[in-house]
Structures are given as C-alpha cells and as structure tokens.
C-alpha cells in the first residue's frame, strides 16, 4: 500500500490501530451527544477505513467523512508513534480538501490538542451539512 502520492508505504497496522481507537472515542460519547446517529456513522467510517487497511487496500476517501477520518488517523499515528512522519500525507489530504477539511479539523481539536471533540464536529456541520459530510464527492448521478 502506498501513500497518496505513490512514494512510500503507509504504516497500515498503525493506521488500523488508530481507526479502532478513534472509532471507540466516537462511540464513547455517542450516548451523551445530541446527535448520536451522526456519531454512529462517524465511528462506522473509522471502522470501514480500518477494514480497508487491514485487507491491504489503499485508502481512497470517497466522502468528506472518510477524508477527515483518514486525516485524523494519520495525525493519531504521528502523535503516538515517534519517528513516523505523515505530515506530507496529511498536507496532501488538506490540499485536496481545501478550507472545509481544515475548518472541520479545527472544530474537533478545539481546546485540547490530544483529544477530539466529535460532538463539536456535529455542531459545526449542522443538520444539512451532516448529509453532505457522508455523501460521495461525485454525486452527479443523483436525481432531483
């Protein structure tokens, strides 16, 4: 499995561990959230990315949710695995996503740098934004 620009392999095992840990964090606050369905789908997104990585598949984010979750997984690995530098991969994801991903990332990192506030992410997105967050990037085949 290679990184996003085809240069070096991503540490798949570390990313799988990050997917599990972050999915568990989302599930941990699920019952205390005003938007438990959102957090359920967020945890499921981490699980799906972890499953892809465990199968040896290269992560190809198809939704804003997958893109943000992968970004968080890369950040988690870097924070918890000294010597692994994935900043280039995170920067590439941010560059492709533009301001939206950076805004969402700031919303969940908020006051503390080590834990993520997934409830705040739901608050930033609001009801209309949540549907778009989990919708595929290319949704041109939808019927009005």
Whole-angstrom distance, CA of residue 46 vs CA of residue 58: 14
Domain boundaries, the chain: 12-134
| pLDDT the model gives residue 95 | 59
pLDDT in tens, 22-43: 999 999 998 888 889 999 999 9
Q: Are 71 and 22 in contact (CB under 8 A)?
A: no
pLDDT in tens, 121-140: 887 777 677 788 888 876 55
């Amino acid at each position: 499995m290679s990184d996003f620009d085809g240069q070096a392999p991503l540490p798949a095992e570390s990313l799988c561990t990050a997917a599990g840990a972050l999915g568990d964090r989302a599930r941990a606050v699920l019952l205390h959230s005003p938007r438990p369905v959102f957090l359920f789908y967020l945890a499921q997104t981490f699980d799906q990315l972890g499953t892809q990585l465990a199968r040896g598949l290269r992560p190809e984010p198809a939704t804003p949710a997958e893109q943000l979750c992968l970004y968080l997984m890369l950040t988690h690995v870097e924070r918890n695995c000294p010597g692994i530098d994935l900043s280039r991969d995170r920067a590439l994801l941010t560059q492709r996503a533009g301001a939206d991903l950076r805004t969402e990332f700031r919303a969940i990192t908020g006051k503390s740098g080590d834990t993520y506030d997934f409830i705040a992410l739901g608050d930033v997105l609001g009801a209309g934004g949540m549907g778009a967050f989990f919708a595929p990037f290319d949704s041109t085949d939808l019927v009005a």
